[in-house]
A = this chain, B = another copy of it.
Amino acid sequence: MPNPTAAMLVIGDEILSGRTRDSNMHHLANELTRVGIDLKEVRVVGDEADQIVAAVQALSGAFDHVFTSGGIGPTHDDITADCVAQAFDRHIDVRDDARKLLTEAYTARGVEVTEARLRMARIPDDAALIENPVSTAPGFTVENVHVMAGVPAVFEAMVASVLPKLTGGTPLLSQTWRVMQPEGDIAGPLRALAEEYDDLSFGSYPFSLNGVFGANVVVRGTDGGRLDAAMVKLQEVFPSA
């Protein structure tokens, strides 16, 4: 059975302007690989409702899961929750269960429950809450879309909350072999290997080290036995430097 597929939607003007360097994509990519869900596409869009709604609809229809990051904070430019509700034509308002979570946490910390903070309790009807062990304000899941915060520590905690609930496929295994020859020299033999082991994928990632050109060849697949066999062959074709 093929692995489930996923897309990520990163939301925020600050990424597109270069002000902030996104790190959530790299984190999610690694976590999904670990549990056997294939990340097939990432989109980054700004804080514009039309773009967010269109991207949620397109990605939700094309992939098994969609993970969003960003735009669920307390300020006026945090419009992700409303856009996701609109994408699925769901009603959205401050919801009692989320309000209770926030009120209890803020009261315990002696923090005032302002109207701005209560924006973070706006949850679409019938959405399931995603736990936020870092700062309480929850994410949520509507249909196949998992809506999470952009702050890396919170995003990572929410990913850890939501992933165990999803049905993963077969984990992708990978092995790497470092070849100290220029990529142009190894391309021919590598293509022949990739054709022989056509159930595996062969990636070649060139580097230059102290003026010497080389490439890391990464072989990926779900069958450990086939992977081992391909690595033996690879090491015969390109003996270690």
Contact = CB atoms under 8 A, between A and B. Distances in A.
Interface of A: 10, 13-22, 25-33, 38-46, 51, 73-77, 111-112, 114-117, 119, 151, 172, 174, 182-185, 187-188, 190-191, 194, 201-206, 218, 220
A203 B13 contact: yes
Given A117-B184, A201-B13, A203-B13, A40 B29 contact: no
A17 B39 contact: yes
Q: Which of A27, A44, A114, A191 has the most CB of B within 10 A?
A: A44
14 contacts: A13-B201, A14-B203, A16-B39, A16-B40, A18-B32, A18-B39, A19-B174, A41-B46, A41-B51, A42-B42, A75-B183, A114-B184, A116-B188, A151-B206
Nearest to A19: B218
Contacts of A43: 41-44
B151 A74 contact: no
Contacts of A25: 15, 22, 44
Nearest to A118: B184
Contact of A17 (B114, B172, B202): B172
Number of copies: 2
Contacts of A191: 75-76
Contact of A205 (B14, B38, B117): B14
Contacts of A220: 17
Given A41-B45, A206-B151, A185 B114 contact: yes
A208 to B, nearest CB: 9
Given A13-B201, A75-B191, A201-B13, A18 B33 contact: yes
A28 B20 CA distance: 12
A41 B44 contact: yes
Q: Report the 6 A-B pairs with minimum CB-CB distance, sorted nearest first.
A: A18-B29, A116-B187, A18-B30, A42-B44, A117-B184, A76-B191
